[in-house]
């Protein structure tokens, strides 16, 4: 008699096989940026596994590759919303974003509001990185701004702080319950990563409207859709199941994976 193998054990073995086989033949994760690569879909469908594998192999603080000014070949292609028509945004834009105020609230001991000069007053950092869009294009650009961790240090996240939610000005579609706005979430590992920043400048110029003026997120180890443009408010939250479609982002609510590691 053969020993009985439980269905659960077979399933577990299968899942690990799917996750490790493609990685075994691949020294880098570059293929993950190619949306036509079947391996990527397998990995993305085992999204939690991808997260665990990448974080254990690459480390929580592993840095995204940085480039030099010589690598800036073409401009950052504007994608998604490129010219928000929401009245609150148009009013700010009309006055050159002088009246912009960024509230940072939620699971924090000291909620605070930052003007653009407050954000410029924080230590500034720059990085030249490659942006990979899930649609299959990439672009290298220089981003400058304030580290998200410096902002979080000011507001003092509580023990309930598990995710950082970015609410955006732009409307993606109209639904029966009103306009559907772009939003995104990242977890605390990504939020305090040294390259995660609120970008105020692109290629040494104030952020253009098409690329997210006046403030956009850079999360350099993730795909482009995580990098919220036109940030209206930041909320630190214990979870995101009660926000919009409950999957942690506009594109996630439409089927994309929450963990978009590259
Ligand atoms: N608010 C907002 N943020 C957004 C989007 C958007 O439509 N609205 N598109 C996302 C996608 S899919 C990409 S690839 C990048 C594009 O950034 P870029 O316009 O600077 O290239 O922004 C991301 N952030
Ligand atoms: Mo994208």
State pLDDT tens for residues 143-152: 999 999 999 9
Bond preceding residue 101 cis, omega within 30 of 0: no
Beta bridge partners of 185: 165
**Residue 94: exposed, middle, or buried by beta-carbon count in 10 A (0-12, 13-18, 19+)?**
exposed
What pLDDT was estimated at residue 41? 53
pLDDT tens-digit map of 209-221: 999 999 999 999 9
Question: Is 224 a pocket residue for ligand 1 (Cβ < 6 Å)?
Answer: yes
Lowest mean pLDDT among 47-61, 114-128, 162-176, 245-259: 47-61
Residue 202: which residues within 8 A CB-CB, separation 6 or more? Answer: 76, 141, 142, 143, 144, 208, 211
pLDDT tens-digit map of 185-203: 999 999 999 999 999 999 9
Mean pLDDT over the full length of the chain: 86
For the entire predicted model, the pTM comes to 0.84
Pocket of ligand 1, candidates 207, 224, 234, 262: which has the most ligand atoms within 8 Å of its Cβ, to mutate?
224
Question: Is 229 a pocket residue for ligand 1 (Cβ < 6 Å)?
Answer: yes
Where does the pLDDT of residue 30 fall: very low under 50, low under 70, confident under 90, or very high at 90 and above?
Answer: very low
pLDDT tens-digit map of 66-105: 999 999 988 889 999 999 999 999 999 999 999 999 999 9
Question: Is 227 a pocket residue for ligand 1 (Cβ < 6 Å)?
Answer: yes
Nearest to 202 by CA among 139, 132, 141, 115: 141
Question: Is 143 a pocket residue for ligand 1 (Cβ < 6 Å)?
Answer: no
Burial 240-251 (b: 16+ CB within 10 A, else e): beebbeebbbbb
- CB of 197 within 8 A of CB of 190? no
Q: Which tokens sit at 10?
A: 């077979």
The enclosing H or E element of 201 equals strand 197-202
What pLDDT was estimated at residue 129? 98
Question: Is 33 a pocket residue for ligand 1 (Cβ < 6 Å)?
Answer: no
Q: Which ligand is nearest to the CA of 134?
A: 2
Distance 16 CA to ligand 1 centre (A): 33
Where does the pLDDT of residue 52 fall: very low under 50, low under 70, confident under 90, or very high at 90 and above?
Answer: confident
Nearest to 165 by CA among 149, 188, 144, 193: 188
Beta bridge partners of 113: 103
Percent of the chain whose predicted confidence (pLDDT) is above 70:
82
Write the residue with the smallest CA distance to atom 21 of ligand 1.
78
Where does the pLDDT of residue 54 fall: very low under 50, low under 70, confident under 90, or very high at 90 and above?
Answer: confident
Q: Which ligand is nearest to the CA of 76?
A: 1
């Amino acid at each position: 008699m053969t020993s009985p193998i439980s269905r659960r054990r077979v399933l577990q073995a299968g899942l690990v096989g799917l996750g490790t086989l493609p990685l075994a033949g691949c020294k880098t994760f570059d293929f993950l940026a190619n949306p036509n690569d079947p391996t990527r879909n397998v990995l993305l469908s085992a999204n939690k596994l991808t997260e665990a594998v990448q974080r254990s192999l690459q480390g929580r603080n592993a840095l995204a590759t940085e480039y030099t000014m010589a690598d800036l070949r073409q401009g950052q292609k504007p994608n998604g919303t490129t010219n928000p028509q929401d009245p609150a945004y148009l009013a700010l834009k009309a006055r050159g974003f002088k009246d912009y105020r960024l509230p940072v609230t939620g699971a924090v001991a000291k909620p605070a509001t930052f003007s653009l000069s407050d954000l410029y007053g924080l230590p500034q950092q720059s990085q030249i990185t490659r942006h990979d869009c899930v649609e299959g294009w990439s672009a290298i650009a220089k981003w400058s701004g304030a580290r998200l961790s410096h902002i979080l240090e000011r507001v003092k996240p509580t023990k309930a702080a598990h995710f950082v939610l970015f609410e955006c000005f732009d409307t993606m579609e109209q639904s029966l319950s009103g306009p559907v706005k772009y939003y995104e979430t990242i977890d605390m590992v990504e939020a305090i990563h040294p390259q995660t920043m609120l970008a105020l400048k692109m290629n040494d110029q104030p952020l253009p409207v098409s690329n997210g003026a006046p403030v956009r997120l850079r999360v350099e180890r993730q795909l482009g859709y995580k990098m919220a443009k036109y940030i209206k408010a930041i909320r630190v939250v214990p979870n995101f199941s009660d926000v919009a479609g409950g999957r942690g982002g506009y594109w996630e609510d439409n089927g994309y994976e929450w963990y978009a590691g590259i």
